[in-house]
Amino acid sequence: MSNGLIFFGKSKSKIMKIPRPRPFQKRVVIVGAGFAGLTLARKLDADYFQVVLLDKNNYHQFQPLLYQVATAGLEPSSISFPLRKVFQRKKHIVVRMTEVRSIDPAQQKLQTELGELHYDYLVLAQGAATNYFNLTQLQQHAYSMKSVSEALLLRNTLLQHYEQALNVTNPIDRAALLNVVIVGGGPTGVELAGAIAEMKKKILPKDYAELNFKQMHIYLLEAAPGLLNRMSAASGTSVKAYLEELGVEVQTNTSVKDYDGFRVQLSNGDCIYSKNLIWAAGVKGVVIPGIPSGSIAAGNRILVNEYNEVQNAQRVFAIGDIAAMQSSEWPKGHPQVAQVAIQQAGLLAENLRRIVARQSLVSFQYKDRGSMATVGRNLATAEIGRVRLKGFIAWVVWMFIHLMSIIGIKNRLLILVNWAWQYFTYDQSLRLIIQPTSKNNTSVKHEQTIHTSNRVSVPAGM
């Protein structure tokens, strides 16, 4: 949910400029404005708390729809909402755009880029980052999609590669520019593969009539035996069939061994030529220095008890993706999904009030609201309790739930208009390559090296 907020370096001696809490207020510092942090801040009452919300961005981003930004379906502003606008009328909430460098639970303070900040209670909700499983070359060359900026980079890159393919004569180099490899068969990988497949089928041939998109291959690789492992095998099978119907080449029991920016080496010995490898195969927690090492679980998640209190750290809590609340039902911690973050934040708001009132705390019990994933137009799967939906009905349910989860009526209307336009016209009108510009007025571009060679034929399967 909110990534980043962590930079290593020497702490500054200055004190962050923050209004003093009122005499009856305890200061709660929240690190991260993702689903968990934003929900908690909105639920903490001014009668008990002053809230200081820290994030490296000044907005909340709706991560489940990042893939639509990456595939030119939505503008970034449609799924982002300024934090200060969210809290305009809540004077007890202070927002600071900064990165947290370290915490000191013993002294109840943390160090940030803006200086030192003391707290009565600290809540870690900084989320998770992409996990490349120590594959250094892959991390250097692959694209991830955990933020709006990364989604925009991916959109720019895909469109730039189509432009470059117009002027490439070597068939392998052209194939590498066109081919897309998505690693990870969870909801993100499945939804991204479906969106790109629909672009290939309905949009790209009209924009780039000179290119033969029959030469473009979309691969979805999953190391496990099936897709959507958090859902039933039947849902995974349905989604696989949907993707193959759209032309996606799904390979299960297949992992990536190496990637140099041009060649994708697979565990089965095969090689795919592609300059577009998108990594959606796992996440790891973003740990801030100062958390006791004994409180860190697998995947860099922070061990917490049933009240989301961090082990061996007084007055420090963790919620959302970063928290690992282990139990007999969830031995590895709860799934890293939005519903867990939102539910933990809601209960923690109540428990913080109970702590101030010296009342007993309520333990967290996760209520699974269901899982869903969409592949494309009229193609989706959803599991809500014992009810399993697929096809058009699941697609409508998916759209409704995601639309109602967006912050702001204006954003909901923008997304609804975009979705309606795409549905009736089979077109996305946001295919713009927008590059940031530096102070000297030069465009800052991602490296676009073309691997030319004397090869004159494309291997089978390309």
- Tokens 């803006």: give the residue: 114
Give the chain's domain count: 2
Which range marks the domain in which residue 52 is found? 26-56+98-130+283-356
Q: Is the pLDDT of residue 270 over 90?
A: yes
Residues 382 and 253 in one domain: yes
237 and 173 inside one domain = yes
pLDDT of 367 over the 70 cut: yes
List, as own/partner pairs, every contact residues 167-171 make where C-beta atoms lie below 8 angstroms and the sequence separation is at least 24, other chains included: 168/450, 170/452, 170/453, 170/455, 170/456, 171/215, 171/455, 171/456, 171/457, 171/458
Q: Is residue 77 part of a domain?
A: no
Mean pLDDT across the stretch 69-85?
A: 92
Q: Looking at the domain assignment, is residue 258 inside a domain?
A: yes
Predicted confidence (pLDDT) at residue 457 exceeds the cutoff of 80 = no
Clarify whether 150 is annotated catalytic. Answer: no
9, pLDDT greater than 90? no
Residue 252 sits in the same domain as residue 147: yes
Q: Is residue 301 part of a domain?
A: yes
Say if residue 256 is in the same domain as residue 314.
Answer: no
What pLDDT, in 10s, does the model give residues 124-160? 999 999 999 888 899 999 999 999 999 999 999 999 9
The answer, yes or no, to whether residue 6 has pLDDT greater than 70, is no
pLDDT tens, position by position, 153-205: 999 999 999 999 999 999 999 999 999 999 999 999 999 999 999 999 999 99
Same domain for 125 and 140, yes or no, is no
Q: What is the pLDDT of residue 439?
A: 58
Percent of the chain with pLDDT over 70: 91
Domain co-membership, 290 together with 265: no
What DSSP designation does 11 have? P
Report yes or no on whether pTM surpasses 0.85: yes
Are 80 and 61 contacting, i.e. CB atoms less than 8 angstroms apart?
A: yes
> What is the rounded CA–CA span in Å between residue 211 and residue 165?
8
* Token pair 């081919």 in the structure block, residue: 179
Considering the domain architecture, whether residues 239 and 255 belong to the same structural domain is answered as yes
Task: Dump pLDDT digits (tens) for 272-306.
Answer: 999 999 999 989 998 899 999 899 999 999 999 99
Catalytic residue among 75, 99, 113, 191: 191
**Cα(359)–Cα(52) distance, rounded to whole angstroms?**
24
Looking at the fold, whether 268 and 172 belong to one and the same domain comes out as yes
